[in-house]
Structure 1
């Protein structure tokens, strides 16, 4: 049964896929209207769109992961790993969409432009994964702090209860001994 985060992840991924397609259409429309469709500017705009969308997807996942207090959160430890995999998958998807989108005008571009490796999308993915990992460590730390604090409190209450009980038993025995 999918949990809270899996549902949020599916909605977030679908939204960002639509936004990426919309940005690609907007880039084509603007550059076609300006007569720059076969220029390097179109390629740069596509690359920037991929990097921005991967970054925005990572930010949205971080917001979903940190929306609740860790003590009362529906987020599980495994959701952080799932988020990192999702960002990586989305970066791969965005790269495929980039190549597919530029393939429409590929004949007019210089040879090798579409296949050229660009690192902006990968950098955005790495930044998002590092941010998710940081929040995972913070989540784990806050959970372990509360467990430690309340566990320590339980031990202290138990110790204080035993001390008070033994003091009360001692007082009753002393009063009984003095009475005899």
Structure 2
């Protein structure tokens, strides 16, 4: 059970262009994508992008199921009570996710007719894996509930996915 994230440093070969789409912070050479920045690589897994938030739930777009990118837009909802496993009554969705975050989640059930899936992040390995600060920098997790901007050192609350340390390769 590999972690969805891997620590990388500039010059690391990340993947082939057949398997991955180049994003920011990388460069292409001979059909492979290499890192030009230090940071985390998100392996294609159940990836959802948070699109909107209210006190009761977060709405997401499902981007991947397993390693399969979805061609159609499927919507999902993470309800307040499905954000984490403990102290569910004290969850604040705005302290768990923000629009634009990439989260790892599991499908609990098929929701309503608009192909809206109910999702959960209530396991340690699930939650936010990529988030950007208000300054626009990719934040670094510092605990299970906080991330920090490397540029401004401002801290923001998130329901952070626990990355297995044995899978972080320097």
Which TM-score band applies after superposition, normalised by the shorter structure?
under 0.3
Higher relative helix content: 1
Q: Which has the larger radius of gyration?
A: 1
TM-score scaled to structure 1, two decimals? Answer: 0.19
Length-normalised TM-score, structure 2: 0.20
Q: Which has the higher contact order (CA 8 A, sep 6+)?
A: 1
Higher strand share: 2
